[in-house]
Structure 1
Amino acid sequence: MSAVVSLGLDFGTESVRAILVDRDGQQLAIAAVDFAHGQITDTLPGSSDPLPAHFALQAPDDWLDAAAEATRSAMSQSGVRADQIVGVGVDFTSCTMLPTTIDGTPLCQVESLASVPLAWPKLWKHHGAIQQTERMNRIANHRNESFLARYGGTIGLEWFFPKVLETIENAPQVADAAEVWLEAGDWFVWQLVGGPANELTRSSCQAGYKAMWSASEGYPSLDYFAAVHPLLAEVVANRLPGVMRSPGESAGGVCDAMAKRFGLQTGTPVSAAIIDAHSAVPGVGAADPGTLVMVLGTSSCHMLNATEFANVPGVAGVVDGGILPGMFGYETGQAAVGDAFAWLLKLVNLESFESLSEAAMKLPPGADGVACLDWMNGCRTPLMDGGVRGALTGLGLHHGPEHLYLALMEASAFGLRWIVELLRDGGVPIDRFVATGGLPHHNRAFVEVYADVLGAEIEIHPSTQGPAVGAAVLGMLAAGPDASGFRDVTEAASAMASAKSGQSDKVYPRSDRCAAYHQLYSGYRELARKLGPSNGNSAPRETAN
């Protein structure tokens, strides 16, 4: 073991993982701890009142408690000492965001506001701002706002400012009390390093992809925000304190209180946060342009670096240096993947995918006539519409759970192919596919369907913890070259995260199934056209309370 170690903290939807990686890429220990309250979707803690539809909240103390426990557990497992950890990196689900007081106290911890749902952090998958997102898009398009070109022409339902506007309109007492609005990843880093609000670090990655910020233009104009709602402009002008920093850039050192809580040394450098999916790019050592890194989990994010900017309709974001320095980072994704499979498992009352996968892969492409549209949680790319809904068609009494499962896997693969075609048609090269996250390692059949539909080889990176390793890479960078020995992120990612020769599991397309899927893909696109938002396929519009 190298004496130089980095701690990566990877915040997912249900839990946090702490990973310790040395400068040679040895993963010394990993520990995962569930959040005590998980996803808050039914009722607030201690309440029996049901939450409105589409709400998904979290408890901020869960993040600190679970991260501290996971860090101490990983250090205990590995025997790594605090003085060996030279840096801390943080990746976080996004856009997960919250309002706080000026000293960083979450408003859900203010007694008078604790019973108001919108005082709590809104998880990335919180979909309560449907009406606000529609209005923001309508006004931005009417004004021909230039920032739209960086986001495929659409502001996303899960993004920062729609959630702020939702609170302004539906919980004005919370909006009035909010002195700071920020991403959860930035809040966590702020808690680790301490300091006043005007010095807190805001991640240029999170702001670039989820809050329409760019290094050249900043946030959209106050005139635009005022046209949407005067109080939204006031938030942008006065309630977004802090300094923008890139992932890998130091946000400061761990403060005394958090050093004691986590078992770290005071002053250990902490990197600016990065979005969890984006962290997987350095986490699999993909430092070159043209590699599509597919982070497959509850939902999926497909990240790509390119040397040029292209205006591609439907892409969730293009940010200069948003993933790695010196390149344009493209973000696309699918809103329901692993959670759609889990939904199906529950629906057919099965406990395991093992027998279901085996039966499904014996079926011919097309699942004996069952077709699926994979919009169970809306469509991220290319429609950027959280309101559309999925479908299963062609069902007969002879079909069983395996038909539904294959159809759902095929639909997810067809959705990915649509994304790939969108990027390539827009002039963005894709030369290589790398899969990471937990899903590819637990569900090889799913990756096989992806390879068949794409007609391309897919590498399954040997690490199941791509985002966590990426966070550790960024923590090493935050330590600086004197402590880490690395000059830049490319050097660090290559040494700490690249798969060694023969370690990647390569999944190859099968020519007979490729040909069949080429025809079936046209049917998927036609189904998407028929059931798209222009044909009335949309979730009910509900006003949050």
Structure 2
Amino acid sequence: MSTDGYVIGVDFGTLSGRAVVVRVSDGAELGSAVHDYRDGVIDERLPDGTPLGPDWALQSPQDWIDVLRSAVPEAIAAADIDPCDVVGIGTDFTACTMVPTTGDGTPLSALFPSRPHAWPKLWKHHAAQGQADRINTLAAERGEPWLPRYGGKISSEWTFAKGLQLLDEDPEMYQAAQRWIEGADWIVWQLTGVETRNVCTAGYKAIHQDGAYPSAEFLALLDPGFADFTSKLGHELSPLGARAGSLTARAAAWTGLPEGIAVAVGNIDAHVTAAAADAVRPGQMVAIMGTSTCHIMSSDRLAEVPGMCGVVADGIVPGLWGYEAGQSGVGDIFAWFVEHNVPASYAKAAAEAGVSLHDHLTEKAAEQNAGRHGLIALDWHNGNRSTLVDHNLSGLIVGQTLATRPEDVYRALIEATAFGARKIVETFEASGVPVEEFIAAGGLTRNAFLMQTYADILDRPLSVIVSDQGPALGSAIHAAVAAGRHPDITTAAATMGRRTPAVYQPDPQRAAVYDDLYALFTSLHDTFADGAIMHRLRELRAGDSEMPTAPER
């Protein structure tokens, strides 16, 4: 089997898309480019000014096409290769990012630009929590067999909750949406001219288990008009690493690539990163850490793990069960704190030192001993994905005094995200799914203090992916398999992916302190897990209840 040639991996993220050129024979990354989305996250109003409600998050399909037109040619130029030597292209996407389209794949946002429900709902669109609650309640009452595969709850971020919101709030757009398709599959459709659905997004985000979606009977009980919903999803699923089709002339003109090369089946950004880290064997948990964190792991055993995001046959690599869990906010929490809660004097000091405000706060936080700031925080600023599956929860910091400084809170927030990760790991192991290696990937791996804190709190060594472009490299690896240059994903990952084992070792003294703090975190976690207080605060913030009139004085 020839391993000549190059492949392209394209990663469609939350704020930008990136392309990387990779050599098939050894995984060397020869060139890359990034294209920032013009519209970014559409969360306050549509491009024409139409306002959106709370917890909305949309995107523009044009931004994704612009990545193909911009980042791919720029990456090829940076790699200084002949495009004719490229043998395949693979893509990955945020999930669950749902696109309502006509039967030929035209996004409804192009036809109805002033209708919010015509636009793609980004993964972090959380306005469908009420619909998710209805689905979960009915599924639990009926004992639906698929519910335990998702830890007992499905998320407001997922396919069916967002689809039910579409029906509830804009029935006309629901009828117009002949297809309800993941961005991961829509972009492959644009590249190949062929509609495909991948087993990964269908399994994790669209409740496809044991060869079927939820029954029409179940869906009709949610709403009679919802009974036909799965007709919009497609039923033939393509395995990961397969060839979805060939690059069309139109897509070749966008990208500068040869017409007819292999296009890999779509994939989720987090799940495809496992190949880039050569972490596709049982027990290897990969934490893809960025604005949020997704924890994915393959296993040779099937178990019901409370609060997980799903367990799917062949969901990461064929032949193994693929597990997913996650944290809805990590880097986003640090960014929120830096943007809104740090005095100007800190920004000035960072500028004078020639470092970012994040680096400045990290340096000051690292000077402390573990536990000396006297704080404990919950990492729920963007809700809780695992293990509580409640996106209406909110953040909490306990222990602040008039002496609390910004670096204290910054460190407490870093620790909170690590405590959240430990909660996920312990839940898996308590359910009989051992985590034998914890591998960090994503942009946050560049922060050595954060990585060491995770090692100390998890009390286990941390391995780190070598590539800075994990999802894009993973997509390129899948492209190499789709192009027939490697026989399967496991073989391709061993040749083209890599990680550095046990880069960070836990410090026994800090780990002991963090054991005590983790006990406090767990107590706080369990106290607020029912959401009673946080949900009520959320209602008041949204103005969903009558506020008492202030007494006259």
Q: TM-score, normalised by structure 2?
A: 0.93
Out of 6-15 and 503-512, give the one that drifted further: 503-512
Mapped pair 1:449 → 2:453: yes
Q: CA deviation at 1:536?
A: 3.0
SS in structure 2 at match of 1:460: strand
Amino acid in the other structure paired with 2:504: V
Amino acid in the other structure paired with 1:72: P
Cα shift readout 1:232-290 (whole Å, capped 9, x = no counterpart): 22121x32236310221111001111111111111111111111010110011112111
Query: Counterpart in 1 of 2:363?
Result: 358
Match runs of 1:3-152 below 5 Å: 3-23=4-24, 24-47=26-49, 49-110=50-111, 113-152=112-151
Mapped pair 1:207 → 2:208: no
Query: Counterpart in 1 of 2:406?
Result: 401
Q: CA deviation at 1:516?
A: 0.5
- For structure 1, the residue ranges without an aligned partner over 5 or more in a row are none
Amino acid in the other structure paired with 1:117: P
SS in structure 2 at match of 1:309: coil
SS in structure 2 at match of 1:21: strand
Q: Which of 500, 503, 506 is equivalent to 1:506? A: 503
Query: Counterpart in 2 of 1:381?
Result: 386
Q: Which of 271, 280, 296 is equivalent to 1:303? A: 296
CA contact (8 A) 2:68 2:254 kept: no
Output the CA distance in 2 between the equivalents of 1:55 and 1:165: 15
SS in structure 2 at match of 1:533: coil
SS in structure 1 at match of 2:226: helix
Q: CA deviation at 1:534?
A: 4.7
Q: CA deviation at 1:325?
A: 1.1
Out of 410-419 and 359-368, give the one that drifted further: 359-368
Query: Counterpart in 1 of 2:521?
Result: 524
Q: CA deviation at 1:353?
A: 1.4
Q: Which of 412, 423, 441 is equivalent to 1:418? A: 423
CA contact (8 A) 2:462 2:501 kept: no
Q: Which of 462, 465, 468 is equivalent to 2:466? A: 462
SS in structure 1 at match of 2:522: helix
Query: Counterpart in 2 of 1:334?
Result: 327
Output the CA distance in 2 between the equivalents of 1:527 and 1:232: 39
Cα shift readout 1:423-475 (whole Å, capped 9, x = no counterpart): 0010001111111111111x111111100001111012221111111100001
CA contact (8 A) 2:316 2:322 kept: yes
Q: CA deviation at 1:313?
A: 1.1
Q: CA deviation at 1:68?
A: 2.1
Amino acid in the other structure paired with 1:239: K
Output the CA distance in 1 between the equivalents of 2:533 and 2:212: 36
Output the CA distance in 2 between the equivalents of 1:223 and 1:373: 39
Cα shift readout 1:142-170 (whole Å, capped 9, x = no counterpart): 11100011100101110011001101010
CA contact (8 A) 2:280 2:316 kept: no
Amino acid in the other structure paired with 1:279: V
CA contact (8 A) 1:462 1:505 kept: no
Output the CA distance in 2 between the equivalents of 1:345 and 1:416: 22
Query: Counterpart in 2 of 1:492?
Result: 492
Mapped pair 1:228 → 2:222: yes
Mapped pair 1:282 → 2:283: no
SS in structure 1 at match of 2:453: helix
Amino acid in the other structure paired with 2:538: P
Mapped pair 1:217 → 2:211: yes
Cα shift readout 1:473-513 (whole Å, capped 9, x = no counterpart): 00111112xxx1x11111100100124xxx56701111100
Output the CA distance in 2 between the equivalents of 1:504 and 1:423: 21
Output the CA distance in 1 between the equivalents of 2:85 and 2:501: 29
Output the CA distance in 2 between the equivalents of 1:339 and 1:497: 27
SS in structure 1 at match of 2:87: strand
CA contact (8 A) 1:316 1:331 kept: yes
Query: Counterpart in 2 of 1:162?
Result: 161
Amino acid in the other structure paired with 1:343: W
Amino acid in the other structure paired with 1:178: A
Distance 1:12 1:322, change over 3 A: same
| Pairwise CA RMSD | 1.5
Q: CA deviation at 1:217?
A: 3.2
CA contact (8 A) 1:370 1:394 kept: yes
Q: CA deviation at 1:101?
A: 0.7
Query: Counterpart in 1 of 2:350?
Result: none
Output the CA distance in 2 between the equivalents of 1:411 and 1:265: 48
Output the CA distance in 1 between the equivalents of 2:450 and 2:105: 42
Mapped pair 1:392 → 2:397: yes
Aligned residues: 526
Q: CA deviation at 1:404?
A: 0.1
Amino acid in the other structure paired with 1:38: G
Match runs of 1:172-183 below 5 Å: 172-183=171-182
Cα shift readout 1:21-50 (whole Å, capped 9, x = no counterpart): 112111011111111111111111121x42
Amino acid in the other structure paired with 1:354: D
Output the CA distance in 1 between the equivalents of 2:106 and 2:487: 37
Q: TM-score, normalised by structure 1?
A: 0.94
SS in structure 2 at match of 1:86: strand
Mapped pair 1:247 → 2:240: yes
CA contact (8 A) 2:48 2:114 kept: no
SS in structure 2 at match of 1:274: coil
Amino acid in the other structure paired with 2:322: G
Output the CA distance in 2 between the equivalents of 1:115 and 1:533: 37
Output the CA distance in 1 between the equivalents of 2:440 and 2:60: 31
SS in structure 2 at match of 1:30: strand
CA contact (8 A) 1:413 1:450 kept: yes
Cα shift readout 1:343-388 (whole Å, capped 9, x = no counterpart): 1111214452122111111222224211111100000000011011
Identity %: 40
Amino acid in the other structure paired with 2:156: L
CA contact (8 A) 1:201 1:242 kept: no
Q: CA deviation at 1:67?
A: 2.4
Q: CA deviation at 1:535?
A: 3.6
Output the CA distance in 2 between the equivalents of 1:461 and 1:224: 42
Mapped pair 1:537 → 2:534: yes
CA contact (8 A) 1:295 1:301 kept: yes
Mapped pair 1:477 → 2:476: no
Q: CA deviation at 1:537?
A: 2.2
- Structure 1 residue ranges (4+ consecutive) displaced by more than 6 angstroms after TM superposition: none
CA contact (8 A) 1:462 1:504 kept: no
CA contact (8 A) 2:15 2:36 kept: yes
Distance 1:543 1:243, change over 3 A: farther
Amino acid in the other structure paired with 1:521: Y
Output the CA distance in 1 between the equivalents of 2:193 and 2:399: 57
